[in-house]
């Protein structure tokens, strides 16, 4: 792995911004409550790129400030810290024997625009809290524990997601040549932070260095709340397709073009979207399909739209279900476009296979959930993508979900209960103490 590199941070600006914040969380001992307080603390400037609503994008000033603060908490918990070649923050709690393989515990520090405070960040902070408890007890293990704060899971700055976990997992062949909305390339952004783009792939771990990967994350759905469970056992992460659909018709005057002669791209897209919804509704419960983006041209109230572009996101617990749905909706959209006399182009932009969590690790995690809560572990398929699905290429993975209020996520209304987070922390600590040696996994 690459040696640590030093970030450039405008410390005067950071210190000035820090003066407008409340004090650093005051709970002294590791706890779920302190984890929540720390996430709340990171929800404002300078840890946000915007003054209204949380937005923390990869390699931005807010990301840099967050790395600096979280690193302080890692060091206070007894870890040695470094920044890898991809800009991820990594804290290592050494094993009884130096240089032993590590249990990786991670999630992401970046966010979407107008985000909640707990998506991703809570998983990183909970890992720190677990280490703080073990350190206070002077307890170490045959394996090391490394807490990873991934820099880019959301893809909210550059048009690629889970970039930094791909680097760690060794799944990248090359660094993508992409730009953000301001025209800054990822290579330029790395150089501005003292990172060498040519060394990006050196963030990869060797399989022999890793025992397993564990991730705690808010559920981002309402199931745990509706069933009365504080935490849940993730059995798999859904397969995902993301498409870009372009429909080209013929623009025309809204007052003079008869209805039966129109090639209305927006009307075709509207019918397509309703069809996509029906296809998803007719499938298994784990099948979902979403149209979340749309562009219309010319975009005037008195012109029949001649061009429309929209996204389709299709997810399911298995690849067979996802693939069947994608094939069905593709045929349906082709029929709609032909009937309406518009040209359609469908492009696959994103393809993530379903990820099964490791059965042996999941059994241990289920036992820890029962030990802590007295309840049988509630199984869940994650419809959302996570760094764990990328890390599965490197090591066995398992995940713990934490109840969130009304299932709301990617929204400032995102909320968790201190008691639920404390339950998650206790489950994590019990799990860590019961995972087998490297040879047993």
pLDDT band at 76 (very low <50, low <70, confident <90, very high): very high
The DSSP 8-state label assigned to residue 175 in this structure reads: -
Contact 126, 429 (CB under 8 A): no
pLDDT band at 23 (very low <50, low <70, confident <90, very high): low
Is pLDDT at 441 greater than 90 in this prediction? no
Rounded to a whole number of angstroms, the CA Rg of the chain reads 23
Is pLDDT at 5 greater than 90 in this prediction? no
Question: What mean pLDDT comes out for the span 138-150?
Answer: 97
What DSSP string runs through 369-435? HHHHHSSPPPEEEE-S--HHHHHTTTS-EEEEEE--GGG--SSTT----HHHHHHHHHHHHHHHHH-
pLDDT band at 349 (very low <50, low <70, confident <90, very high): confident
pLDDT band at 32 (very low <50, low <70, confident <90, very high): very high
**pLDDT over 90 percentage in the chain:** 87
Q: What is the pLDDT of residues 399-423, one digit of tens each?
A: 999 999 999 999 999 999 999 999 9
Contact 28, 88 (CB under 8 A): no
Is pLDDT at 301 greater than 90 in this prediction? yes
d(CA 347, CA 345): 7
Is pLDDT at 282 greater than 70 in this prediction? yes
Number of alpha carbons in the 13 Å side-chain half-sphere of residue 281: 6
Task: Name the class of domain 239-352.
Answer: alpha beta
Domain with CATH 3.30.70.360 in the chain: 239-352
Q: What is the pLDDT of residues 238-253, one digit of tens each?
A: 999 999 999 999 999 9
Contact 333, 278 (CB under 8 A): no
- Tell which CATH architecture fits domain 11-237+354-440: 3-Layer(aba) Sandwich (3.40)
Contact 122, 149 (CB under 8 A): no
**Residue 296, both tokens:** 């219309």
Is pLDDT at 10 greater than 60 in this prediction? no
Domain with CATH 3.40.630.10 in the chain: 11-237+354-440
Contact 214, 103 (CB under 8 A): yes
Question: What mean pLDDT comes out for the span 316-343?
Answer: 96
| Alpha-carbon distance values, 317 to 1, 136, 321, 355, 397 (Å) | 34, 40, 7, 9, 16
pLDDT band at 350 (very low <50, low <70, confident <90, very high): confident
Phi and psi at residue 276, to the nearest 5°: -60, -45
């Amino acid at each position: 792995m690459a040696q640590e590199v030093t970030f450039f941070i405008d410390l005067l600006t950071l210190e000035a911004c820090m003066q407008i914040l409340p004090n650093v969380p005051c709970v002294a001992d590791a706890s779920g409550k302190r984890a929540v307080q720390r996430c709340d603390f990171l929800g404002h400037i300078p840890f946000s790129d915007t003054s209204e609503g949380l937005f923390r994008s990869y390699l931005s000033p807010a990301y840099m400030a967050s790395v600096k603060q979280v690193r302080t908490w890692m060091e206070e918990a007894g870890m040695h810290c470094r920044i890898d070649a991809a800009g991820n923050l990594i804290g290592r709690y050494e094993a009884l024997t130096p240089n032993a393989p590590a249990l990786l515990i991670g999630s992401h520090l970046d966010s979407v625009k107008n985000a909640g405070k707990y998506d991703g960040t809570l998983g990183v902070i909970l890992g720190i809290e677990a280490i703080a408890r073990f350190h206070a007890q002077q307890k170490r293990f045959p394996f090391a524990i490394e807490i990873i704060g991934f820099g880019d899971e959301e893809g909210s700055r550059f048009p690629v997601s889970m970039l930094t976990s791909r680097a760690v997992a060794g799944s990248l062949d090359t660094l993508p040549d992409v730009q953000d909305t301001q025209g800054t390339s990822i290579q330029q952004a790395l150089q501005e932070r003292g990172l060498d783009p040519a060394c990006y792939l050196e963030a990869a771990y060797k399989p022999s260095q890793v025992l397993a990967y564990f991730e705690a994350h808010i559920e981002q759905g309402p199931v745990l709340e509706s069933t009365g469970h504080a935490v849940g056992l993730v059995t798999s992460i859904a397969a995902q397709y993301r498409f870009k659909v372009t429909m080209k018709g013929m623009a025309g005057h809204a007052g003079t073009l008869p209805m039966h002669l129109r090639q209305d791209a927006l009307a075709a897209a509207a019918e397509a979207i309703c069809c996509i919804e029906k296809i998803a509704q007719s499938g298994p419960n784990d099948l979902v399909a979403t149209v979340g983006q749309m562009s219309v041209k010319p975009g005037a109230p008195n012109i029949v739209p001649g061009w429309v572009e929209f996204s389709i996101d299709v997810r399911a617990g298995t690849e067979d279900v996802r693939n069947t749905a994608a094939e069905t909706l593709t045929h349906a959209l082709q029929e709609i476009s032909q009937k309406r006399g518009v040209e359609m182009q469908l492009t696959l932009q994103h393809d993530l296979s379903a990820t099964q969590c490791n059965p042996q690790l999941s059994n241990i995690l289920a036992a820890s959930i029962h030990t802590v809560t007295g309840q049988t572990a509630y199984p869940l398929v994650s419809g959302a993508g996570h760094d764990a699905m990328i890390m599965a290429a490197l090591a066995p993975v398992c995940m713990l979900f934490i109840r969130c209020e009304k299932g709301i996520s990617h929204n400032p209304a995102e909320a968790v209960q201190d008691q639920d987070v404390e339950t998650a922390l206790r489950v994590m600590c019990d799990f860590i103490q019961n995972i087998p040696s490297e040879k047993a996994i």
